[in-house]
Amino acid sequence: MGMTITEKIIAAHSGLEEVHAGQFVYADVDICLGNDITAPIAIKQFERLGINGIFNPEAVVLVPDHFTPNKDIKSAQNTKTLREFARKHQIKNYFEIGRVGIEHALLPEKGIVVPGDLVIGADSHTCTYGALGIFSTGVGSTDLAACFATGKVWLKVPEAIKFVFNGKLNKWVSGKDLILYVIGKIGVDGARYKSMEFTGPVITALSMDDRLTICNMTVEAGAKNGIIEPDDCTEEYISSRARRKYKLYSSDDDCKYCDIYEYDVNNISPQVALPSSPENTRPVEDLSDIGIDQVVIGSCTNGRISDLRIAAQIIKDKKIHPSVRLIVIPATQDIYLEAVKEGLIEIFVNAEGVVSTPTCGPCLGGHMGVLAEGERALSTTNRNFAGRMGHPKAEIYLCSPAVAAASAITGKITHPEYID
């Protein structure tokens, strides 16, 4: 029996010719990642082991991105823990303020993760890198601590579901809309423990930014990983960035999928996930008169340059609605600088939006735009659970950057075609 791309990558990292769904392995990890929330627990756990060195400092990446620039004293202590651990163990891939960006935008951009890798991260959205043909999955802090010591992770090889996208994308429909649509169809546990493999002519034609967005939100369907077979688009993205040699894997024709879903994207319009679950999706045109207090454009899901470009294109020469607060967060310093050069930041500021330094910030109700009781936000982030962005009685709607930008202008959830 053939193997899926996920099975092939896991086999190659377990010293095995072949692995199949359900099998247990201790796999070698190419890159392990922690942030300012999850790494402090991992460091505490690792230090209790009382061993001297970490398995491979080159394989460890520490990204203080969630509550930075430090929002309070406790957060500052956590970042200090990461900084000192990085110094002690000569971890080069610790990213200080000024170089740091949101981890899942930063690692692909810097070529730290490359096709064919096996990556674990103590952050659920580590599944993002599947867009590059990487097996990457979110784990906990103790998994990270164990990986510091051993360079390995325990894994159960996941079953795979194939998602085939045919047809032609409608104007204003992006990778975010496709993944929201899928989550709406299969539910927040529709791919629990499984691998979500995306394919078809629509995926082939998608930009890397859109592919990263799709794989980013696979965890919202409960998946272990999301993955797209590498192609010309992947090579174009990674060849100039890769810091290591990479390997392109693809699924065998006779590999096993536990389910195959086919979608005709001609029927898909921009999607909005209503409170308080990412599966609670509706086409944007079905919503009317939903007034909003705050719009956030950013995050590991949608804070990349193409996201800022489409938002700026819609907002250009207009003003944000007087009752709306617009917060734009470029995901990395490189994206920020590119947005400055292209005049995007000027567009947001002229429209009376604010632009923040890279941070996860409001996505998880950390800082830089926390919601009050009864407020309603429209956000390009990934989760709309009650309390996620602040007060438990605030409401969160999820959407693409285009819908977010159009809605920021009208003050209510709006299809971008009404602004165009």
Task: Please tell me the distance from the alpha carbon of residue 299 to that of residue 307, in angstroms, as a whole number.
Answer: 10
Q: Is 78 in the site for another protein (CB under 8 A)?
A: yes
Q: Is 365 in the site for another protein (CB under 8 A)?
A: yes
Among 154, 243, 285, 319, binds another protein (CB under 8 A): 154
* x/- track of binding to another protein for residues 366-385 (CB under 8 A): x----------------x-x
**Entry field: residues in the chain:** 420
Task: Please tell me the distance from the alpha carbon of residue 180 to that of residue 186, in angstroms, as a whole number.
Answer: 10
Q: Output 56 or 150, the one with its CB closest to another protein.
A: 150
Among 192, 243, 247, 319, binds another protein (CB under 8 A): 192
Q: CB of 407 within 8 A of CB of 317?
A: no
Residue 222 Cβ, how far from another protein at the closest point, in Å? Answer: 6
Among 56, 124, 207, 357, binds another protein (CB under 8 A): 124
Residue 325's identity, in one-letter code, is: R
Pairing of strands 118-121, 135-138: parallel
Among 167, 291, 387, 411, binds another protein (CB under 8 A): 387
Task: Please tell me the distance from the alpha carbon of residue 417 to that of residue 419, in angstroms, as a whole number.
Answer: 5
Q: Is 97 in the site for another protein (CB under 8 A)?
A: no
Q: Output 290 or 386, the one with its CB closest to another protein.
A: 386
Question: Greatest CA span in the chain, whole angstroms?
Answer: 61
Q: Output 302 or 333, the one with its CB closest to another protein.
A: 302
Residue 305 Cβ, how far from another protein at the closest point, in Å? Answer: 26
Structure-token pair, residue 172: 């204003």
Task: Please tell me the distance from the alpha carbon of residue 173 to that of residue 362, in angstroms, as a whole number.
Answer: 25
Q: Which residues, at least 6 apart from 217, have a Cβ–Cβ distance to it below 8 Å?
A: 176, 179, 180, 183, 226, 278, 301, 382
Q: Is 273 in the site for another protein (CB under 8 A)?
A: no
Residue 119 Cβ, how far from another protein at the closest point, in Å? Answer: 13
Residues 304-323 that bind another protein (CB under 8 A): none
Q: CB of 389 within 8 A of CB of 362?
A: yes
Among 45, 136, 280, 380, binds another protein (CB under 8 A): 45
Task: Please tell me the distance from the alpha carbon of residue 5 to that of residue 116, in angstroms, as a whole number.
Answer: 9
Q: Is 197 in the site for another protein (CB under 8 A)?
A: no
Secondary structure tally for the chain: helices H, strands E: 14, 17
Q: Is 15 in the site for another protein (CB under 8 A)?
A: no
Q: Is 141 in the site for another protein (CB under 8 A)?
A: yes
Q: Is 193 in the site for another protein (CB under 8 A)?
A: yes
Q: Is 40 in the site for another protein (CB under 8 A)?
A: yes
Residue 267 Cβ, how far from another protein at the closest point, in Å? Answer: 27
Q: Is 157 in the site for another protein (CB under 8 A)?
A: no
Outline where DSSP puts E strands in 185-280. Answer: 195-199, 225-228, 259-264, 271-273
Q: Is 294 in the site for another protein (CB under 8 A)?
A: no
| b/e burial code for range 57-84 (CB count within 10 A of at least 16 → b) | eebbbbbbbbbbbbbeeebbebbebbbe
Task: Please tell me the distance from the alpha carbon of residue 317 to that of residue 294, in angstroms, as a whole number.
Answer: 20
Q: Output 4 or 280, the one with its CB closest to another protein.
A: 280
Q: Is 71 in the site for another protein (CB under 8 A)?
A: yes
Residues binding another protein: number (CB under 8 A): 51
Q: Is 13 in the site for another protein (CB under 8 A)?
A: no
Q: Output 101 or 278, the one with its CB closest to another protein.
A: 278
**Selected range binding another protein among 144-152, 159-167, 246-254, 325-333, rule: CB under 8 A:** 144-152
Q: Which residues, at least 6 apart from 286, have a Cβ–Cβ distance to it below 8 Å?
A: none
Cα dihedral 332/335/339/345 (nearest 10): -10
Q: Is 11 in the site for another protein (CB under 8 A)?
A: no
Task: Please tell me the distance from the alpha carbon of residue 415 to that of residue 172, in angstroms, as a whole number.
Answer: 9
Q: Output 16 or 49, the one with its CB closest to another protein.
A: 49
Residue 141 Cβ, how far from another protein at the closest point, in Å? Answer: 4
Residue 195's identity, in one-letter code, is: S
Report the interface residues with another protein, using CB under 8 A: 24, 37-38, 40-41, 44-45, 48-49, 51, 66-67, 71-72, 74-75, 78, 121-124, 126, 138-143, 145-146, 149-150, 154, 156, 188-189, 192-193, 219, 222, 224, 277, 364-366, 383, 385-388, 392
